[in-house]
């Protein structure tokens, strides 16, 4: 008989004490299914692949090799305490390249050196209060540990972990109740998010000082069970910090689903969507695909409540404001799915009694299981025992897993597949460009040598070309070329190859929705202003401005108006009144104007990053940032773009803009180019903060330039050696000597050569 929803939560509805064996756990309730199903710690030794073959045949597996296994008994034998259970895990790679597993235990957190995966070494155990639930994440060289039993955020310094030292340096208890269910970190921005704990949503902390998390705010609309927070790389929200939350009401049981929140501005977080998927019981955890198009979500109770096979929901999030279910990963197993993570288009899913399941998501709507390791032999039923989580983010095929009863597993994952490599171009010749990549067949896969393809698109549609294979030291070298592309265009491209079994692999794996990009040009020069030094920008504050003028500064960040927390490139940028992080633009306009910049060339691309927040106050959403350009040293101006005044681009966050100046009608490319940024606060008043950074001018060369006709030997002068070379080539069709470019080397070229004879190229 299932307990009622309010009694079967994952440590979130009530806090009570339950005694299991010798351990006192702070738990959700005595009837919580994890406690109801718990079988006690496995009693016995683990396994090291270099020592014996005791574990061979003990676990069912496919394409997974067990390197080592540390049981809870092994931990006790090694002198690191007696523990009733294990829970979550995470990993860390030190600057030296050493690998470490971090595993939560019933009363602490274990740190294990797995650099030699077949011979792991326990380093340290940091004690904590007793609970079935513990979660760990890493930022830089610090680990952050939370639990339902309290203790807030424990902070461990791992800077000396290679010397065998891990130190508890802080315990942060600000931000309300000390209980926490999960922890997530946005590594791009350095913010930590505490999930759940009692009835909490998100509690947010700055890790500007990694040893001392500082509470900066919260989001309380719903209870949050788990989360992934990242800065988006593509789409209209590129550059913005977005939280994907497994959330709901009443401890997550009511209106359970996926909440998508723009958390860029911590003082004004914006809900983009809350989606309640079909056949929902309890939205537990999920992860975003690497191309940012799909969120794979696990529901922890649908298998047991509805007696369905393991179901992982595939939610299309290509439009963050309108997510929808695009499918379910098919699986005939009855086990409950728990935590999943994605790396290199592979889904690593911990499924309680059926263990680790690995899916190839090359087809994102129909992932295929390619490997598994069953850490709970004998039963795949929908009960809460076995594998809690995994961590696949080491730089090789090593994956770790944490099992409730059986402790820490270290595996090598190896299955049939093709792997790509090589140096990719970021600039290609408009007339065509040669390219060579590598393809390696791994596992038992065989490469279909006739299947290599390159696909590219300069904006006029996809074109394809065949890649020719050659074998070299165990890998295939595939050589081919781009065809003609429009100079100045951004060229998207990807590669494709098949195994002999008919499976198609792409590079990048999520192509064509995700691609590599290059500029079409013969050559290019780039000028960048990151504002690390003052190159002569001027600021004009118009009449009536009382606060918020532009200034070159290192952003103060934060404050109740949420100005930029950091610059985009370097440390400096231009921001509006950086004095205390709280002064917004008031009363009129402030205008920042560049010095003259050289934009001379046939093809010129301008790019920059901008930041605008205009979401609070009486006239919020009414004050844009206007960008203008001039080709006559600032005598006249024309509008390049208007940013905002509302929508995602006016809600804070660094966003990029790019323009081909040569495509602007009537605009002259010269060395009198200027750009200016204008922002103001007019009407009834609103809170306006702005910034800009990383002004970049790319001058593209689209034709071969002959600066010195007749200089055939390349010594920057036309002399006797060039005359000798010309006589040898006379009458040929060698284009290097065809000065007038008529297709022949003849008397006409000889006349031009005589005119240039004795000249220099300078």
pLDDT digits (tens, 9 = 90+) for 90-115: 999 999 999 999 999 999 999 999 99
Model pLDDT, residue 580: 57
659 secondary structure, DSSP code: E
394 secondary structure, DSSP code: S
Model pLDDT, residue 51: 55
Model pLDDT, residue 572: 93
How deeply is 275 buried, as exposed, middle or buried, from its count of CB atoms within 10 A (0-12, 13-18, 19+)? buried
Architecture of domain 527-701: Sandwich (2.60)
Closest C-alpha among 113, 178, 182, 87 to residue 144: 182
Contact 168, 155 (CB under 8 A): yes
Q: What is the C-alpha separation between 315 and 618, in angstroms, rounded?
A: 37
φ/ψ of residue 737, rounded to 5: -110, 5
Contact 656, 609 (CB under 8 A): yes
Cα 559–563–569 angle (5° rounding)? 130
Model pLDDT, residue 19: 28
Best CATH choice for the domain 16-413 from the list 3.40.50.150, 1.20.140.10, 2.130.10.10, 3.40.50.1220: 2.130.10.10
Best CATH choice for the domain 417-521 from the list 2.40.110.10, 1.25.40.10, 3.90.1150.10, 2.60.40.650: 2.60.40.650
- Whether the pTM exceeds 0.75: the reply is no
How deeply is 379 buried, as exposed, middle or buried, from its count of CB atoms within 10 A (0-12, 13-18, 19+)? middle
Residue 472: count other Cβ atoms within 10 Å of its Cβ.
9
Contact 321, 333 (CB under 8 A): no
Model pLDDT, residue 620: 63
Q: What is the C-alpha separation between 147 and 161, in angstroms, rounded?
A: 23
The crossing angle, in degrees rounded to 10, of helices 747-756 and 720-729 is: 170
Residue 729 Cα distances to 498, 704, 738, 748, 756, angstroms: 47, 21, 9, 14, 17
Q: What is the C-alpha separation between 699 and 724, in angstroms, rounded?
A: 36
Helix (H, G, I), strand (E, B) or coil at 637: coil
Please state whether the peptide bond connecting residue 267 to the residue before it is cis, i.e. omega within 30 degrees of 0.
Answer: no
Beta bridge partners of 226: 246
Model pLDDT, residue 566: 79
Beta bridge partners of 72: none
Residue 588: count other Cβ atoms within 10 Å of its Cβ.
16
Model pLDDT, residue 705: 53
Residues 6+ apart with CB under 8 A from 74: 45, 46, 407
> Is 706-762 CATH 1.10.1330.10?
yes
- In the block, tokens 């004490």 appear at 17
Q: What is the C-alpha separation between 739 and 752, in angstroms, rounded?
A: 7
Residues, the chain, total? 762
Q: If phi over 0 gives left and psi between -120 and 50 gives alpha, with beta otherwise, what is residue 11?
A: left
Delimit the domains of the chain by residue range: 16-413, 417-521, 527-701, 706-762
Q: What is the C-alpha separation between 477 and 482, in angstroms, rounded?
A: 16
C-alpha torsion sign, points 526, 531, 537, 538:
positive
Model pLDDT, residue 562: 62
Q: What is the C-alpha separation between 757 and 183, in angstroms, rounded?
A: 75
Q: What is the C-alpha separation between 450 and 447, in angstroms, rounded?
A: 9
User: Which pair of tokens denotes residue 483?
Assistant: 């065809």
Helix (H) or strand (E) holding 747: helix 747-756
Helix (H, G, I), strand (E, B) or coil at 137: strand
- Which residues in the chain come in under a pLDDT of 70? 1-32, 50-57, 472-473, 558-562, 579-583, 616-621, 683-685, 704-707, 714, 762
Residue 159 Cα distances to 115, 141, 162, 288, 421, angstroms: 16, 6, 8, 30, 32
**pLDDT tens track for 543-552:** 989 888 999 9
Contact 539, 576 (CB under 8 A): no
Residue 479: count other Cβ atoms within 10 Å of its Cβ.
14
Give the number of C-alpha atoms closer than 13 A to the C-alpha of residue 80, restricted to the C-beta side. 23
């Amino acid at each position: 008989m299932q307990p009622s929803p309010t009694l079967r939560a994952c440590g979130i509805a009530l806090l009570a004490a339950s005694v299991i064996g010798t351990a006192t756990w702070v738990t959700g309730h005595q009837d919580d299914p994890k406690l109801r199903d718990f079988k006690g710690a496995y009693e016995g030794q683990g396994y090291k692949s270099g020592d014996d073959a005791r574990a061979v045949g003990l676990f069912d597996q496919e394409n997974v090799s067990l390197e080592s296994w540390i049981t809870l008994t092994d931990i006790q034998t090694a002198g690191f305490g007696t523990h009733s259970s294990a829970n979550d895990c995470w990993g860390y790679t030190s600057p030296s390249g050493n690998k470490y597993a971090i595993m939560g235990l019933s009363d602490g957190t274990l740190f294990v050196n797995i650099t030699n995966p077949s011979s792991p070494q326990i380093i340290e155990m940091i004690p904590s209060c007793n609970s079935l639930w513990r979660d760990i994440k890493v930022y830089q060289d610090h680990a952050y540990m939370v639990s339902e039993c309290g203790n807030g955020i424990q902070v461990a310094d791992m800077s000396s972990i290679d010397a065998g030292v891990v130190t508890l340096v802080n315990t942060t208890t600000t931000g309300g109740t000390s209980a926490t269910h999960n922890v997530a970190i946005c590594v791009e921005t350095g913010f930590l998010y505490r999930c759940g704990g009692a009835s909490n949503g998100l509690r947010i902390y700055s890790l500007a000082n990694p040893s001392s998390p500082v509470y900066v705010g919260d989001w309380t609309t719903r209870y949050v069970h788990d989360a992934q927070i990242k800065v988006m790389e593509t789409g209209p929200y590129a550059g913005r910090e977005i939280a994907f939350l497994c959330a709901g009401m009443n401890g997550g049981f009511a209106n359970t689903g996926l909440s998508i929140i723009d958390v860029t501005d911590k003082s004004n977080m914006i809900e983009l969507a809350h989606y309640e998927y079909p056949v929902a019981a309890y939205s537990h955890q999920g992860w975003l695909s690497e191309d940012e198009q799909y969120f794979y979500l696990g529901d922890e109770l649908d298998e047991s409540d509805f007696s369905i096979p393991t179901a992982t929901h595939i939610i299309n999030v290509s439009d963050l404001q309108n997510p929808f279910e695009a499918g379910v990963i098919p699986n005939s197993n009855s086990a409950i799915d728990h935590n999943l993570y994605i790396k290199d288009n592979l889904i690593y899913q911990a499924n309680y009694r059926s263990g680790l399941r690995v899916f190839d998501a090359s087809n994102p709507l129909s992932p295929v299981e390619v490997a598994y390791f069953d850490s709970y032999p004998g039963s795949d039923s929908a009960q809460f025992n076995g594998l809690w989580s995994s961590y696949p983010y080491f730089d090789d095929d090593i994956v770790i897993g944490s099992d409730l009863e059986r402790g820490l597993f270290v595996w090598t994952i190896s299955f049939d597949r093709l792997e790509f490599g090589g140096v990719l171009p970021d600039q290609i010749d408009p007339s065509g460009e040669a390219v060579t990549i590598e393809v390696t067949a791994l596992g038992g896969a065989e490469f279909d040598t006739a299947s290599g393809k390159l696909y590219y698109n300069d904006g006029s549609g996809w074109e394809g070309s065949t890649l020719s294979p050659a074998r070299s030291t165990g890998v295939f070298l595939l050589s081919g070329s781009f065809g003609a592309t429009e100079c100045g265009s951004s060229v998207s491209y990807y590669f494709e190859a098949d195994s002999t079994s008919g499976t198609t692999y792409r590079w990048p794996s999520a192509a064509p929705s995700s691609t590599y990009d290059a500029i079409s040009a013969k050559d290019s020069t780039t000028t960048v202003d990151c504002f690390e030094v003052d190159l002569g920008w001027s600021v004009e504050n118009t009449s009536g401005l009382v606060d918020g003028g532009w200034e070159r500064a290192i952003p103060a960040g934060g404050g109740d108006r949420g100005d930029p927390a950091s610059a985009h490139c370097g440390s400096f940028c231009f921001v509006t009144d950086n004095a205390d992080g709280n002064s917004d633009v008031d009363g009129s306009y402030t205008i920042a104007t560049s010095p003259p910049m050289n934009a001379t060339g046939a093809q010129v691309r301008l790019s920059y990053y901008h930041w605008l927040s205009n979401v609070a106050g009486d006239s919020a959403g009414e004050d844009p940032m206007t960008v203008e350009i001039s080709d006559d040293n600032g005598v006249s101006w024309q509008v390049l773009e208007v940013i905002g005044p509302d929508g995602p681009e006016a809600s804070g966050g660094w966003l990029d803009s790019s323009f081909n100046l040569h495509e602007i009608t009537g605009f002259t490319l010269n060395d009198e180019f200027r750009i200016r940024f204008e922002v103001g606060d007019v009407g009834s008043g609103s809170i306006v903060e702005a910034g800009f950074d990383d002004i970049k001018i790319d001058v593209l060369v689209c034709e071969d330039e002959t600066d010195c006709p007749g200089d055939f030997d390349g010594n920057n002068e036309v002399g006797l050696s060039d005359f000798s070379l010309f006589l040898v080539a006379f009458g040929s069709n060698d284009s290097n000597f065809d000065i007038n470019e008529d297709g022949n080397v003849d008397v006409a070229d000889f006349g031009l050569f005589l005119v240039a004879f004795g000249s220099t190229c300078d």
